[in-house]
């Protein structure tokens, strides 16, 4: 199983099976702070399982470039994982469906400025891949002592290209 993936624009509808696109869209849910701030409320379903808690970490990732080789995906069975870019660098998001513990039907998405993602618990995904420049991210994910990482290495890698 190998092949070529074309990175598509990241949209909430296309990404819904894998997680949430977190972005300002439409009118705010409420106006706060003496009318000076619009709150776009509860934009991601965070899920940390029964044996963990939410934690905030900072990631500093090296730049990736297209075409991009995907030889491994991973998943976190005990918790969701949200990535909030702070450096404005677009990111490549690779996700896959699960077929009995094996990742299948890989998809590639390209984020736009102002977009963040939340990967649902147990979703197969590629590594953090800021495109064209290094990227810094706030990551909200599960902190706990039980194992929360599964990796799958492909015999033949996939190659992601631009749309």
Tokens of 100: 């009995």
At 63-103, the pLDDT tens digits run 999 999 999 999 999 999 999 999 999 999 999 999 999 99
| Distance separating alpha carbons of residues 36 and 23, to the nearest angstrom | 19
At 26-76, the pLDDT tens digits run 899 999 999 999 999 999 999 998 889 999 999 999 999 999 999 999 999
Partnered with residue 117 across adjacent β-strands are 21, 83
CA atoms within 13 A on the CB side of 111: 27
Q: Report the predicted TM-score, pTM, of the whole model to 2 decimal places.
A: 0.92
């Amino acid at each position: 199983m190998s092949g070529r993936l074309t990175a598509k624009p990241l949209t909430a509808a296309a990404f819904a099976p894998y997680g949430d696109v977190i972005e300002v869209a439409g009118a705010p849910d409420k106006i706060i702070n003496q009318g000076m701030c619009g709150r776009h409320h509860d934009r991601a379903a965070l899920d940390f399982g029964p044996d963990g808690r939410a934690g905030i970490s900072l990631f500093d990732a090296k730049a990736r470039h297209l075409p991009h080789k995907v030889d491994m995906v991973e998943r976190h069975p005990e918790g969701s994982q949200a990535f909030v870019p702070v450096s404005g660098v677009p990111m490549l998001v690779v996700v896959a469906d699960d077929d009995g513990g094996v990742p299948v039907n890989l998809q590639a998405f390209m984020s736009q400025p102002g977009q963040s993602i939340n990967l649902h618990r147990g979703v197969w995904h590629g590594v953090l891949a800021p495109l064209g420049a290094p990227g810094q991210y706030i990551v909200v994910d599960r902190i706990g002592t039980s194992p929360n990482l599964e990796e799958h290495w492909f015999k033949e890698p996939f190659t992601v290209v631009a749309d």
